[in-house]
Structure 1
Amino acid sequence: MKSLSMLICLTLMIGVFAACSNNNNAKSSDANADSQGSKEVKLTFFNTSAEVNTVFEELFKTYNELHPNVKIELIPTPIGGAQLEKFQSLLASNNPATIANLDAGTVLQYRDSFLDLESEKAKYEQLTKPGAVEGALLDGQFLGVPWTAQGYGLLYNKRVVEESIGGPFDPASVKTRDDLEALFQKIEAAGTAPVMIHGADWSLGSHYLGLAYSLQSENDVEANRAFVESLKGGEVDLSANPQFMGLMDTFDLLKKYNARKNDPLVADYNKDSADFANGEAAFYFMGDWTWAVIGTLEGRDEEFGILPVPISNNPDDFGNSQVAYSEPKLFAIDNSGSTPEQQEAAKAFIEWLVTSEQGQRAIIEDMGLSMPYKDLKATSTNVISNAVTEYVDQGKFINIGVINYLPQDYWAKTGASMQKYLVDRVDREGFIQEVTDYWKSQAGK
């Protein structure tokens, strides 16, 4: 009986110790799980940079391998205006994306749906180049993290230009409109089309005519906004505005030497970019984003650069030595239907995306984009973007941030007027009237 009693006691003690041990192990596992954030969090990512959908999807997989509890699903969008419609439908159905990669103007338009990232602002001011966060502010609010920077102007094919002029080309030699025309004349005399104009409304209405609103001050966005408000109020005579008229005088020059002058509205973006890259035109009014096409071409030319669009014959006028520059896309986090856990996971993912070697390599090398960040861990192969960066680092840029505050249809409406002017269906006076009428129709909006 004594032996049996001892056996029973020993068995009970072993059971108690085992239970205690299991309980302690369970607590330890729970603590480890909590420290790693083991609760599964699902994020959705609305992407308006449709041309790089596959790159983002690979990044989501990489992040999931590093953070198994976080799963990110891409919400792809078509290229063009239907992107905004899809975004609106997600909001209307109470099924918003956790993270949205959007134009800054769209973030501003739907500001009430996004998380205020003021708590993240100081961190990103340390991570980015000077002015990057300031340029991303929308009415003073930090609603989206900047992740890419883009510039545009007159791209040039170095081989074509140098063969045409018979020697090295110094881009700083073009300081005025007359300088540009003299160069065009040499190129044309050598048997090559001097310049390519892409005839799409977004290129003409947003990128070209959009400069008129950004040139009203030397990078004072609020002053440029005030100018637009004066346009809406009918208080501005565009025919007496030197920046607007100078820009249009330069457009007349581009029209005169346009490689597409026989059919200027075909607007085949891939063909225009490829023809320029292969030397069929010396200059191309476009931005560094065209490297997504040019960079993949076999047998193309290798060296390209960028010139500002001169707007006068006074080399000291603002715009003649500066290229257009902006941070066109922001990563914004939903605040209308996302949980606090999703929002925190979204913040962590965005920070990883823009600071990690994997994220930076994907953005810079695979997407071919420029990033407004310090201490980059990847080298860009986009020679046009690198040329833009040289201007920006010297402070020679036009802040086109005013476009973030313009109506969503401004580029389509005024772009259509630009197309008519391009094909001589309306003269300068008629064109000015159409643009003036558009802005008056926006009064009070």
Structure 2
Amino acid sequence: MKSITTTGICSIILLSSLVACSQNNAPSSSPGATQQAKGVKITFFNTSAEVNGVFEDLFKTYHEQNPNVTIELIPTPIGGAQLEKFQSLLASGNPATVANLDPGTILQYKDKFMDLETEKAKYEKLTKPGAVDGALLDGKFLGIPWTAQGYGLLYNKRVVEEATGGTFDPSSVKTRNDLEALFKKIEAAGKAPMIIHGADWSLGAHYLGLAYSSQSQKVEENRKFVEDLKNGKTNLADNQPFNGLMDTFDLLKQYNARKNDPLVADYNKDSTDFAKGNAAFYFMGDWTWSVIGTLEGRDKEFGIIPVPISNNPADYGNSQVAYTEPKLFAIDKSGSTPEQQAAAKAFVEWMVTSEQGQNAIVTKMGLSLPYKDVKAKGTNVISDAIAKYVDQGKFLNIGVINYFPQDYWSKTGASMQKYMVGKTDRKAFTTEVQDYWKSNAGK
């Protein structure tokens, strides 16, 4: 999943203010003040490398309010060697107290982190519906959610409305046929209906990932589906959500503005062309705001609709946008003292509930908090549109991908690319994907 580990992309990914600690709180009134009287130093391992500076400013602010707590950043390079550095800290017996990690990494090293069951009820009250459930790993609360991303078919409101000659109601697209009828109107008006970004991560993780997540509303049932794929108990060729999703992909390919050269995959150009009205829709996520938000001469109003997977409006997936929490805060138990663990819990709570923490995350980092009452205001209108779906419970939990092999998106993404350019047909493509999962049997 493209997330805030990569410059310019996820910036990112939804939202809170919760029992806020104000800037004027005395140190004794902050969470975890009991252990602070002794003085404690904690370390923070950060894989969201492009916002290192924002985190360091937060550490200083927290220290000013809590003089007996010192927080040291352990930075990582953008785009690489992050996991290796994390592993080396573990091997040296000097792990970070708090780690900002992908859920899959936390799951891989689950024995090294605290089970935060005692904190779970608190965060269920603070977060939006489904946020804590989406963060559970093997049923355990091992990481506290702090960012959220969503993706689907982004739309440029001006382009759609000029093509259709009226106000666009996103809820009017309930089926694949609805989407096709809309695409025809847009094309007839002389505009490109659609941009598909041809990178393997977009096709393999984001698009094909919908097939595994739309099997059920429950992550555990989606995990079972994937295990059945591995063991040959389920045949993708006979699977309705998968086939429906690929039927929709055929439609998107047909109306793709990049169909003459679909694998160029120039992320900045695709995002810019969409933002400036050269296409009405764009299969992408709210992280693209890191490109769109700073463009001069762009359009102002954007929204999102789900990717329809059938012609039955009631089918799961037709009215839900994909939604996940790409990063979690986990607390070490392998080498941290009880005092450090208590200080870490208090600091994490402060980051997601205080005015300063929320402002840093939403305004300075440009991300979305999956909390109920966020006072900080960002500029990402796509995130705002996704939040409306989440508030209504209309989201597709794609947490099943946390349990996938590290190469799933590159391998199946390559198969998607071949299908996209017509080098393989549906039958051969389906067999390739099925064979990939069978090769992971027992893993």
Give me the identity figure in percent.
79
- Report deviation, 1:40: 4.7
Q: Which has the higher helix share?
A: 1
Rg bigger for which structure?
A: 1
Mapped contact 1:211–1:400 kept (Cα < 8 A): yes
Give the match's secondary structure for 1:229. Answer: helix
Deviation at 1:153, TM superposition (A): 0.5
Report Cα offsets for 1:140-190 as digits up to 9, x if no partner. Answer: 211111112221100001011111112211111111112111211222222
More displaced 10-residue stretch of structure 1: 124-133 or 140-149: 124-133
Q: CA deviation at 1:115?
A: 1.2
One-letter amino acid matched to 1:206? A
Cα 1:245/1:295, change in 2 over 3 Å: same
Residue correspondence of structure 1 range 360-379 to structure 2 within 5 A:
360-379=358-377
Answer yes or no: is 1:41 the counterpart of 2:40: yes
Q: Pick from 220, 223, 226 the counterpart of residue 221 of structure 2.
A: 223
| Aligned residue in 1 for 2:128 | 129
Q: Does the C-alpha gap of structure 1 residues 35 and 404 become closer, same or farther in structure 2, counting only changes over 3 Å? A: closer
- Structure 1 match to 2:158: 159
Please identify, of 406-415 and 202-211, the stretch whose mean Cα deviation from structure 2 is larger.
Answer: 406-415
* 1:405 aligned residue (403, 416, 419): 403
Partner of 2:345: 347
Question: Could you tell me which residue of structure 1 aligns to residue 50 of structure 2?
Answer: 51
1:340-384 Cα deviation digits (max 9, x unpaired): 222222111101100000111111222222212123222232111
Name the counterpart of 1:98. 97
Code of the residue aligned with 1:97 in structure 2: it is: A
Alpha-carbon offset, residue 435 of structure 1:
0.6
Alignment of 1:109-124 (within 5 A): 109-124=108-123
Residues in 1 aligned to 2:36 and 2:247: alpha-carbon distance in whole angstroms: 60
Residue by residue over 1:202-223, the C-alpha shift from the partner in whole angstroms, topping out at 9 and shown as x without a partner, is: 2111111011111112x11111
Moved more, 191-200 or 148-157: 191-200
Work out the number of aligned pairs and report it.
411
RMSD (Å), alpha carbons: 1.8
- Comparing 423-432 with 261-270, greater Cα deviation is found at 261-270
Of stretches 178-187 and 54-63 in structure 1, the one that deviates more from structure 2 is 54-63
C-alpha distance in structure 2 between counterparts of 1:265 and 1:89, whole Å: 37
Q: For 1:5-404, what aligned pairs fall within 5 Å after superposition?
A: 37=36, 39-80=38-79, 82-217=81-216, 219-404=217-402
Are the counterparts in 2 of residues 365 and 379 from structure 1 also a CA contact under 8 Å? yes
**Partner Cα separation in structure 1 for residue 80 and residue 261 of structure 2:** 25
Aligned partners of 2:269 and 2:43: how far apart in 1?
34
- In structure 2, the CA distance between the partners of 1:143 and 1:323, relative to structure 1 (3 Å rule), is same
Task: Using the TM superposition, give the Cα deviation of residue 403 of structure 1 relative to its aligned residue in structure 2, in angstroms.
Answer: 1.3
Q: 1:424 aligns with which of 394, 411, 422?
A: 422
- Superposition deviation, residue 57 in structure 1: 2.3
Q: Given that residues 111 and 143 in structure 1 are in contact (C-alpha distance below 8 angstroms), is that contact kept between their aligned partners in structure 2?
A: yes
In structure 2, relative to structure 1, the CA distance for the partners of 1:401 and 1:160 (3 Å cut) is: same
Q: TM-score, normalised by structure 2?
A: 0.88
Distance 1:269 1:57 in 2: 30
Residues 253-288 of structure 1 deviation map (CA, whole Å, 9 limit, x = unaligned):
111221222322222222322221111211111111
Offset at 1:332?
A: 0.3
SS of 1:216's equivalent in the other structure is: coil
Give me the TM-score of the superposition, normalised by structure 1: 0.88
Measured in 1, the distance between the counterparts of 2:294 and 2:67 equals: 34
Deviation of 1:38 after TM superposition, in Å, equals 5.5
SS in 1 for 2:280: strand
8 Å CA contact 1:150–1:328 kept in 2: the answer is yes
Between the aligned partners of 2:423 and 2:41, the Cα distance in structure 1 is 53
Change (3 A) 1:270 1:439: same
Q: CA deviation at 1:311?
A: 0.7
SS in 2 for 1:431: helix
The one-letter code of the counterpart of 1:413 is K
Residue 265 of structure 2 aligns to a residue whose secondary structure is coil
**Partner amino acid, structure 2, of 1:87:** F
Match of 1:120, as an amino acid? E
Q: For residues 155 and 182 of structure 1, what CA distance do their matches in structure 2 show?
A: 17
Judge which range, 429-438 or 185-194, deviates more. 185-194
* 8 Å Cα contact 2:129/2:391 also seen in 1: no
SS at match of 1:250: helix
Distance in structure 2 (CA, Å) of the matches to 1:133 and 1:343: 20
- Counterpart of 2:41, as a letter, is K
User: Which stretch has the larger CA shift, 103-112 or 72-81?
Assistant: 72-81
CA contact (8 A) 1:292 1:367 kept: no
Answer 1 or 2: higher relative contact order, Cα 8 Å, separation at least 6: 2
- Answer with 349-358 or 322-331: which moved more: 322-331
Shift of 1:304: 0.4
Residues 225, 402 of structure 1: 8 Å contact kept: yes
Structure 2 stretches lacking a partner, 5+ long: 1-32
Distance 1:421 1:89 in 2: 40
Stretches (4+) displaced over 6 A = none
Change (3 A) 1:44 1:424: farther
- More displaced, 170-179 or 47-56? 47-56
